[in-house]
Chains A and B, each alone.
Chain A
Amino acid sequence: MPQAGTLKGDRLPKAVIAVLASTGMAIMLFIIAFLLREGVPILQEATLGEILTGVYWYPTSDEPDFGMLPLILGSISVTLLSSLLAIPISICLAIFLSEICPRGVGELFKPVLEILSFFPSVVLGFLGMMLIAPWLQQTFQLFSGLNMFNASVLMGIMIVPIISSLTEDSLSAIPKTLRDASYALGATRMETVLKVVVPAALPGILQACLLGIMRAIGETMVVLMAAGGAAVIPRSIMDPVRPLTSTIAAEMGETPVGSVHYNALFFIGVLLLVMTLLINLLAQWIEQRGKRWR
C-alpha cells in the first residue's frame, strides 16, 4: 500500500508548498531581524526608560531628545477614539446586515461594504485636510482643525467596513439550528439575536474588533495628513497629535541613513511591532476563552 507523500505526483506540489511557505516565513523573520538591527543601536544613545517616558521628541537637534511618550500616546489615543466611534456602528451594521435586513438588500450591501474597506486612505486624508479641518476650526473656534478628532473620525470611517464585514461573517456562521431552537422556545427575534446569536459569535466579533484596532494602529496616511503632527501629549480630543506611524513616514525620507535619528525611527518600527504583537496575543487569548464560553 502506498504511503502518503510517496506517490510520484504528490511530491512536487508538496515541495512547492513547503518552499513557498518557508520563503514567507523567512521574509517575516528577515524583516524582524532588520528592524532590530537598525533600531536597537539607539539604546546606546538613550536608555529605554528615556525613550519610553521622555516627552520631548527632537531627534535632529544638536543634543537630540528621543522621548517617544507623546508619539506612543498619540498612537494609542487616536486608535482608542476611532475604535470607540467605529465599533458600535460596525456591530450594529453587521447585526442589521446579517439578521434584520431583507436578504436581497444584504447581498447588495455586503460587497459594497467590502469594497469600501479598500478605499485609499490618502483620499480620506485629503478630505480631512480640505473639508473637515476648516469646518472643525470654524465651528469650534479652534486654532487648528488638524487634530486627533479629525484623524479619529477618518480612521473610524476606514475601519467600519473591516470590522462590520468580519463581524457579519461570524454572525452568519452561527448555524441556523441554534436560531431555530431559540425560536422554538418562544423567543422573539430580538431575544434570539441579542441573547443567542451575538453571544455565540462573540469571539469572532471581538477578533474583528481587534483586527480593526490593529489596522488603526498601523494606518499612516490619514494620521500623517489630518492629525496635526505636534509631538505633545494630548490633553483634549481637539489637540493635535503625532502618532508613531506618521513620525516614520514624515521623517524617514530625509534622514541620513545610519544616523542616530535613523536608528530612532527604526526603533519606532520595533515599538509598533511589539504593540501589534500584544494585540495579537490578546486576540488569541480571547479565542481560547471563547472556546470555554461555548
Chain B
Amino acid sequence: MKRFAVVLLSALLGLSLLAGAAFAGEITIKGSTTVLPIAQACAEKFMAENPDVSITVSGGGSGNGIKALIDGTTDIADASRPIKDREIKMAEEKGIEPMDHKVAIDAVIPVVHPSNPVDNLTLDQLMKIYTGKIKNWSEVGGEDKHIAVVTRDTSSGTFETWEKKVLEGKRVLPRSIVVASAGAMNQTVANNPLAIGYNGIGYIEDNEDIETLSINGIPANTETALSGEFPVVRFLHMYTDGEPAGDTKAFIDFIFSAEGQKQVKQAGFLPVK
C-alpha cells in the first residue's frame, strides 16, 4: 500500500513537472481553436524536418492560451484576438513579456442557407440585422420571412471581430441564437433556411451547405481580404515570452518561411508574407 502511494505520488510529481516547464527539444503550443489548424500543420511539417524537436499542440481558447503563457506552462500562446491590457499587466507582474507574432490573416464572412436568394448586404444592413432593427428578409431583398440571427458566444475572437467591424460596438440582439464553435455555426446555418451567421474564411471554403454573402458588393476571397477591400478581417496571433529563443525561435521563423505560410494557406487562412 505504501509503495503504491509512493509510486502514485512520484508519477503525479513527474506529470506536474512535465506540464510545468518544457524540456530542451520540446515546444508546447496552447490557445485559440481558430489558430489550432495552422499550429498543427506547421508543427507536423517542422517535426518532420527536425526530428529531435517534439511539439505539443492543444486548443482551449485564446484566453486559456494566454493564461498558460503567463503561468509559464506554454512556450507559444495562440490567439485569435490581440492580447488585452489586463492580460499584459498580469504577465508583467509575473515577469513575462508577451511578444506578438501576427502569423495569418482571417476574413470573417457572413453566411446564409443556399436556398436564400440574398447574395449581398451592406455593412449598414448587417449592423441593423444583428442589432434587431431589420427583422425580415424582405427588407433586404429576400423572401417575406423572419430572419434568424445566429451569432458566436461573446468571448469568441470571431465574435469580437464581428462586433468591432460590423456592429461598431453596438450590442447584438439578445434573442439571437448563440453557437459555441465555428463548426456549430456552419451546422446551424446549413440546417436553417432563415438563418444568417458568420464564420472565418478557413471554415467556409469548399462548404456547399452554406453560401457566403458579399459585403457592399465586395465578394470575400483571398484577394479582397489581402488588399484590405473586404471590410471584416483580423490578424491571428502567436505570443511568446519576450524574443523567442532556441527551438521556439526556429519554429516561429518556420511559420514565417515560405513553407510555413503555405501551411497557413492550406489551413484556409491568408498568409501575411
Q: Please determine whether A250 and B178 come into contact, CB atoms closer than 8 angstroms.
A: yes
Q: Which residues of A contact B160 (CB under 8 A)?
A: 60
Interface size on B, residues (CB 8 A): 42
Task: Tell me the number of A-to-B contacts counted with CB atoms below 8 Å.
Answer: 115
A210-228 near B? 1/0 per residue, CB < 8 Å: 0000000000000011001
Contact present for A251 and B153 (CB under 8 Å)? yes
Looking at A59, A146, A224, which has the most chain B CB atoms within 10 Å of its CB?
Answer: A146
Task: Tell yes or no: B87 within 8 A of A by CB.
Answer: yes
**Which residue in A70, A133, A251 is a CB contact (below 8 Å) of B155?**
A251
Residue in A61, A229, A261 whose beta carbon sits within 8 Å of that of B178 in the complex: A229
Chain B's closest residue to A253 (CB) is B61
Question: Considering only CB atoms, which chain B residue lies closest to A61 in the complex?
Answer: B171
A130 and B188 alpha carbons, distance in the complex (Å)? 8
**Which residue of B32, B180, B192 is within 8 Å of A144 (Cβ)?**
B192
Provide the bound-state CA to CA distance between A35 and B49, in Å.
45
Binding site for B on A (CB under 8 A): 12, 16, 56-62, 70, 129-130, 133-134, 137, 143-146, 224-225, 228-232, 240, 242, 246, 249-259, 261-262
User: Is B153 touching A134 in the complex (CB atoms < 8 A)?
Assistant: no
Q: How far is the CB of B110 from chain A (nearest CB, A)?
A: 17
A137: chain B residues at CB < 8 Å are: 191-192
Do B1 and A16 touch (CB < 8 A)? Answer: yes
B residues in contact with A225, CB < 8 Å: 180, 184
30 inter-chain pairs at a CB distance below 8 angstroms, sorted by A residue, are: A58-B154, A58-B171, A59-B155, A129-B184, A133-B192, A143-B147, A144-B177, A144-B194, A145-B191, A225-B184, A228-B177, A230-B177, A230-B178, A231-B178, A232-B175, A240-B175, A246-B180, A250-B178, A252-B63, A253-B33, A253-B63, A254-B32, A254-B63, A254-B156, A256-B66, A256-B67, A256-B86, A257-B63, A257-B66, A258-B90
Interface string of B114-158 (1 = CB under 8 A from A): 000000000000000000000000000000001110000111110
Q: Known contacts being A59-B154, A62-B169, A143-B194, is A257 close to B175, with CB within 8 Å?
A: no
CA A57 to CA B86, docked complex, whole Å: 21
